[in-house]
Chain A
Amino acid sequence: MKPPKTRDEGPVSEITILPDGRVYVFGLTRPLVEVLAALPRQESGWREMEPPAGREHPGGVVPRAEPPP
């Protein structure tokens, strides 16, 4: 499975590995994606990590403005 595309904006990554093997990531960067992509995982494993679907603007990525439900 291909890892998600990432845009390295934040300088800090924080990983939490739970006892059952779930991995939570805050601040996903390209080097971290490469490390995580090498680990065995379930297909749904990137759910927490998908980058925002967005359009570009001068201030960076502006995700789609979905009104709250």
Chain B
Amino acid sequence: MTVAAITADRLAAADAHYRGCRLCEHRCGVDRTAGERGPCKAGPVARVFRQRVEYGDERLIAPSHLFYLSGCDLRCVFCINELNAFDPRRGDELTPELFRAAVEAGRPLQPRTLQWVGGEPTIHLPAVLAAMAGCPDLPRVVWKTDLHGTPEAYDLLDGVVDLYLADFKFGNNGCGRRIGGVERYTDILSRNLRLVAGRTDLIIRHLLLPGHTECCYRPIVTWLAGHLPTVKFSLREGYLPHWQANHYQELGRPLSRREIESARRIAADAGLHLVS
């Protein structure tokens, strides 16, 4: 990441989204500075509900200093961060001062990467760029994203982000609608994956969901094998029912051993490049 890429022009272009927001594919166009709110409910202030150095990410990026921003453009019914993810009023205001102090406090733990996570950081992109602009000496920057942003938003991250850690959650638009809360999920994801894959380092994560092997996992693996066969693929097997998951019959239980083994086999048979 180079702070030099965060030019005044780029900051101004990012800031313009707060007055007519098209940062995510809801493309609602609201003026967040005037108090209008889109479905993400975010205003012009990003808030950090947690920040700390963590060790549980993929070996390529851990240890990582994670900055969790509240607010999201999706509504995954199994979200591990629950209300912190969906209520953008939670947490402390992200300012350049708060960010710099937190980065300095984390340095003794020697994080290899700095990671923006949510909720969804893309909906707060202007505030994030402004925070990083004043901080020249950062580790590699990881953008942990649902990849439901617009190409305009990802253009603003070009040259700023060193690695996208992108969730590919659902393998069909129906599941994206039913348990992710968004339309045209796979259409948007497949477009954005191709977009960011050509730009910088990329790890695609999939959180294996109980009961979704055939409708979601297998189509995702098939698509990746066909379109991004060498991409790094991280299969997350630690699903537990969070948030509203217990109201969705198939999601109200942990994964079975058989589901996990079958998923590993499917990825191996497809020749995907698994990372852990």
Contact = CB atoms under 8 A, between A and B. Distances in A.
Report if A and B associate in a common complex: yes
Interface of A: 9-12, 14, 16, 18-19, 22, 24, 26-27, 47-48, 50-54, 57-69
Contacts of A66: 172-174, 186, 219
Nearest to A11: B247
A68 B190 contact: yes
Contact of B219 (A10, A16, A27, A67): A67
A11 B75 contact: no
B220 to A, nearest CB: 7
Contacts of A53: 174
A12 B79 CA distance: 14
B175 interface: yes
A8 to B, nearest CB: 9
Chain A binding surface, main DSSP class: loop
Task: Using C-beta atoms within 8 Å of the partner chain, give the interface range for chain B.
Answer: 35 or more
A53 B251 CA distance: 19
Contact of B178 (A11, A12, A52): A52
Contacts of B249: 58-60
Nearest to B172: A66
B259 interface: no
Interface in B240-269: 244, 247-251
A68 B171 contact: yes
B240 to A, nearest CB: 17
Contacts of A11: 244, 247
B28 A24 contact: yes
A52 B175 contact: yes
Given A63-B172, A68-B220, A69-B187, A16 B39 contact: yes
B211 interface: yes
Interface string B34-45: 001111010000
A57 B212 CA distance: 11
A58 B214 CA distance: 14
B178 A63 contact: yes
Nearest to A24: B39
A50 to B, nearest CB: 8
A67 B173 CA distance: 9
10 contacts: A10-B244, A10-B247, A16-B41, A27-B75, A50-B177, A58-B250, A60-B250, A63-B215, A64-B174, A68-B189
Contacts of B38: 16, 18, 24
A59 B250 contact: yes
B36 A18 contact: yes
A58 B181 CA distance: 22
Contact of A65 (B37, B215, B251): B215
A67 B226 CA distance: 11
B226 to A, nearest CB: 9
